[in-house]
Chain A
Amino acid sequence: MTYSTVGRSVPRKEGREKVTGQSKYVDDISFPGMLHGVTVRSPIARGRLRKIEFTGMIPWHEFTIVTAKDIPGENCVQLILDDQPLLADDLINHPEEPVVLLAHPDKYLLERARNFVKFDIEPLPPVFTIEESEAKTAIVWGEDNVLKNFRMDKGDVESVWDTAGFIVEGEYRTGAQEQLYIEPNGIIATANPEDGITIWGSMQCPYYIHKALLKPFGLPPEKVRVIQMETGGGFGGKEEYPSIIAGHAALLAWKSGKPVKLVYDRAEDMAATTKRHPSRTRHRTAVSSDGKLLAMDIEFVIDGGAYATLSAVVLSRGTIHAAGPYACPNVRIRSRAMATNCPPHGAFRGFGAPQSIFALERHMDKVARTVGLSPEEFRRRNFLHEGDTTATGQMIREPVDLNAMLQRAFTLSDYHAKQERFARDNQTSQVKRGIGFASFFHGAGFTGSGERYLQSVVGLEARADGSVHILASSTEIGQGTNTILCQIAADTLGIEYDRVHIARPDTRDVPNSGPTVASRTCMVVGKLVESAAIGLKRMLAEQGLEKYPLRSFSQYEAPPGIFWDDETYKGDAYGAFAWAVYVAEVSVDTITFEMKVEDFVALQEVGRVIHPLLAAGQIEGGVAQAIGYALYEKVIWREGRMANHQMTNYIMPTSADLPPIRVCFEEMPYAYGPLGAKGIGELPMDGPAPAILNAIENATGVPVNEIPLMPEMLMDGLACA
C-alpha cells in the first residue's frame, strides 16, 4: 500500500503543543542558578568611546559586568565581513550599539542598574540618510560609505534613447519596516572554557550562530552547540541578529560561570534589531511607440545602516528582481548599499525584492499611462514568456503564461466591471474607490552560486520501531517546515505521515541544511529530504531490516544546465521563480484621508502545493504584512534611532484592518523541486504595496510613489492635484 499526503492538509506536526500552550519558547525555560542579562547601548549615533562609569547606589560588586576587554578571542560578529564588533570598544557607529553587558539574578535590579552605566563619548559627525551618505558629509564606513555595489548589463541601453517613442522617468521610495514577530528575540547560554558553549534560543539559523561564536571565544566547532527552541516568528528578523545576542549571553555566562538568559523586551527588540532596508529607486525607461520596452535603466540604492551585515545579499536580490518579469532587450541596473549611522538593516521576508518590485510596478503604471495604454495592455505586450531571457540573461524554461494569470486574476477580482463602476461612482462620492494590480516574480533559494557554496546536507534515520526521523537544521518558525518536510519524506518513502518525525534543530545532532531563509526550505531542503528518502529506500532494499538505525544523507547538487557568473552577474540567478498577479481594491475617504484595502486577490504559480492550508496561510500572512508595509507601518527616525519602538505607535494590521484575502494557486510542477514544489514564503511580500498604490492612484488620480503611504501624504497629494 502506498500513502500520499502531498496536496492534503495533514495536521501540523507541532500544532497540538502550540494550541494548548505546552510548546516551550526560550523564555519558558530556566536553569538553576540562572542569571538574567541586559545590554547597555550607546546613547549617541557616532563617536569615540573614552570612558565607562558605573554610578549610582547600585551594588555593582554583585553584578557580572562584561565589556569588549572581556572577549577571549576576536571582537567581531562573523557574517559576510567581520566589520561589526560584538561590543563597541573604541568607535561607536550607531545609537543602539552594544557597549556593556550586565548580569544579575534579580531582573528588576538589573533593569535599574542599566540606567546607571554612563559613557563619556567624544561625538563624531554622523550620516542618517542615503543622500547624506552619498554626499559623504562624513565618511562613516570604508573609503566612500559604499557597503556594496553591483552593475548588471544586458544589451546596451545607451543605443536606444535617441530613437525611442517615449522615455519615462520616475523615482520611488520605501521605508524601513519592523519584522514584529510576536515573540521577542531571546537566548540562554551556558559557557566555560572546559565544556564550551551551549545556546538555547529563538532563531532561524542555528549554524549561523554556531559559526559566529567560534572567533570571539577561540573555540573549535565541536565545543559549540546551538539548540533552537520553539520560535515565535522570524520573517528574517531572527536570521542574523541572534548571533549577536548569543555572543552576548555567552560572554556573560563565560565570565559568571552561570547560565544567563538574555531576552529582549519589545522596545529594545524594535529599536536595536534589524529592520527592512529603506530604499530609493530611479527608473529611466525607453518604450517604442507601440508600447514595447526598449531599455530599462535602473538605479537601486538601499540604506544598509552602520555595518555590512547582510546588505550585500539583500542588494543582490533587489537588483536581480528590479527589472521584473518583463522581456526587455536592453537593461542596465546599477545598485549600491550605503552606510549610515542607523542600526544595521537586515533580512526581512523578500530580502530587497519588495523594495525594487514596488518601484518597478509603480513605474510600469506610469509608463503605460504615458504610452496611452491601460496598465494591463502595456504589461501584456512585455511579459516574459518561455524562451525569453530575464535581466541577468536567464532563459525562462517553464511554460509560464502571465497573460492567462492576469486574465484569471481579473476574473476573480471582477477587475474591469469594478473599474468602470468606480469611475462612474467616484464622480459624486466622498469616498473614492479604486482597483490596481501588480505582476511579479520571486526567485526561490539562494541567489546565483549561493546554494552551491552552502552545500547543504540533510539526513534521514530509520529506526527499528518503524519510525523515520529527519535530521536537518532548518527551523520551524511558523511557516510549516516540520510538517512539509515530513510529508515529503513520508510520500517519497511510501509510509504514513505519522511515522515520520523531525529532530529538533540542535547542531550536536543534525547536519547543516543551510539557513531558514530565501524561500529555500521547501524547494531546496525539501529536495534534499526527497533525495535522502530515495537513498534510504535503496539502503533498505540492499541491506534489509537488520542494521537499524539506518542513516541516509544527501547533499545539494545544482539542477543540470544551471550557470551563474559572479563577476558579470549574468546567468541563472535562481533555480526557479514563483509567478504572481495580485489585485487590490481600495477605498479612500477624501475628507479624512483614511485609506482601506477592501478586497484582495492573490493569484500565484508556485509549482506543486505540498500543503494547501499552510501554503494559503503563508500567502495570507504575507499579504497582511505587506498591507502594513504599504499603509500603516512607519518607522520614525530620530538621530538614527527608532523613535516609535512600541506596538502602541508602530501600527501593524489588526483583524479590524484587513480585507478578505482571496488566495488562488496555479500549479506547474517544477522538475527539480521535491514532488514538483517551488518556494513560496517571500512572494506575498512583493506585490501588495505597488498593487495598493496603483489602486489608490486609480481612485484619486494622485500618484504617490513612496511607502508607507500615510494619510498626510495623500492629503498633500490631493491638495496639489
Chain B
Amino acid sequence: MRVIQFTVNGVSNEVNVWPMARLLDVLREDLGLTGTKEGCGEGECGACAVLLDGELVNSCLIPVVQADGSKVVTIEGLSGSLQDAFLRTGGAQCGICTPGMIMAAHALLERTPKPTLDQIREGLAGNLCRCTGYQKIYDAVALAAESA
C-alpha cells in the first residue's frame, strides 16, 4: 500500500492504496465517483475516459501511482454546454458511454474549439457507442462548439 495524493475535480485527495490499482477503481471505489464507467478494462471503449493533467486518458490503463501529484477531472467535475448539448441532440441513449464520450468531446473542444465533422469523428474514434451510430453525438459536439 502507498499514500497517493492527487486533485480530483479541484478537490485534494489522499488515498492509501495498492500503487498498481487502476485509477478507474480508485475513482469509483475509494472516492465514490461512479460517473466514470468500465466498459472493457483494456483501453478499447473509452467509457472510463478522464483528464489527467489535461490529457484524455483511459483510467482503466493508468496505475494510480502514475496520478500521484496530478490533477484529474472526471464527468462529475465538468459542467456546462456539452452535457446540455448531448441532452438536446439525443447524444445519450443507454448512457453508459456518455461520461467518457463527453470527456473525449471536452478534450477535443479544448484543442479544436470549432471542429469540422471529420475532426469530430476522429476525436471520438477512441470511444465506442453501441446505441447511437454516433451521429447524434456529432450533433451534440457541433452544437456545443457553436454555443461556446
Contact = CB atoms under 8 A, between A and B. Distances in A.
Contact of B133 (A265, A266, A658): A658
Interface string B115-130: 0000011101111111
A15 interface: yes
Contacts of A233: 93-94, 96, 130-131
Contact count band on B: 35 or more
Contacts of A480: 93
A396 to B, nearest CB: 30
B59 interface: no
B76 interface: yes
Contacts of B39: 182-184, 266, 647
Interface string B133-148: 1111110000000000
Contact of B94 (A28, A478, A616, A620): A478
A21 B76 contact: yes
Contact of B40 (A19, A235, A266, A622): A266
Contacts of B138: 655
Contacts of A265: 41
B64 interface: no
B60 to A, nearest CB: 10
A620 B97 contact: no
A489 B132 CA distance: 26
A8 B121 CA distance: 28
B83 interface: yes
Contacts, number: 159
A211 B122 CA distance: 46
Nearest to A650: B44
B95 A478 contact: yes
A182 B45 contact: yes
B111 to A, nearest CB: 17
Contacts of A11: 87-88
Given A19-B83, A233-B130, A28 B95 contact: no
A265 B39 CA distance: 8
A617 B34 contact: no
Among A20, A24, A479, residue most surrounded by chain B Cβ atoms (within 10 Å): A20
Contacts of A614: 90
A648 B41 CA distance: 11
A435 interface: no
Interface in A644-680: 646-648, 652, 654-656, 658, 660-661
A65 interface: no
A621 B133 contact: yes
B56 interface: no
B130 A180 contact: yes
A297 B132 CA distance: 37
Interface string A474-490: 00011110000000000
Nearest to B38: A27
Contacts of A646: 40, 42, 44
A161 interface: no
A647 B134 contact: no
A652 B128 contact: yes
A266 B48 CA distance: 13
A622 B133 CA distance: 7
Contact of B132 (A9, A181, A184, A621): A621
Nearest to B120: A655
A184 B74 CA distance: 21
A564 interface: no
A16 B45 contact: no
Nearest to A179: B130
B97 A648 contact: no
Given A15-B87, A182-B39, A654 B128 contact: yes
A357 interface: no
B23 interface: no
A255 interface: no
B5 interface: no
Nearest to B18: A108
Given A19-B92, A182-B97, A658 B134 contact: yes
A230 B95 contact: yes
B90 A647 contact: no
B106 interface: no
A647 B45 contact: yes
A89 to B, nearest CB: 32
Interface string B14-55: 000000000000001000011111111110110100000000
Contact of A621 (B35, B45, B130): B130
B3 to A, nearest CB: 20
Contact of A617 (B84, B93, B102, B128): B93
A20 B134 contact: no
Contact of A20 (B35, B37, B136): B35
Given A12-B92, A21-B99, A266 B135 contact: no
Given A182-B47, A232-B37, A232-B94, A16 B133 contact: no
A647 B126 CA distance: 12
Contacts of A232: 37, 94-97
Among B92, B124, B131, residue most surrounded by chain A Cβ atoms (within 10 Å): B131
A661 B136 CA distance: 11
B65 interface: no
Contacts of B137: 655
Contact of B35 (A15, A22, A479, A625): A22
B89 interface: yes
Interface in A114-140: none
A24 B89 CA distance: 22
A622 B129 CA distance: 12
A655 B134 contact: yes
A647 B44 contact: yes
A18 interface: yes
Contacts of A478: 93-95, 131
B125 A25 contact: no
Given A232-B96, A620-B136, A646-B40, A656 B131 contact: no
Contacts of A647: 39-40, 42, 44-45, 128
5 contacts: A20-B35, A22-B35, A25-B37, A479-B93, A647-B128
Sorted from nearest, which 3 A-B pairs have the closest CB atoms? A21-B35, A232-B96, A478-B94
Given A646-B44, A647-B42, 16 more contacts: A14-B95, A15-B87, A18-B92, A21-B33, A21-B36, A21-B75, A180-B130, A184-B39, A233-B96, A616-B136, A617-B132, A620-B136, A647-B40, A655-B124, A655-B134, A660-B135
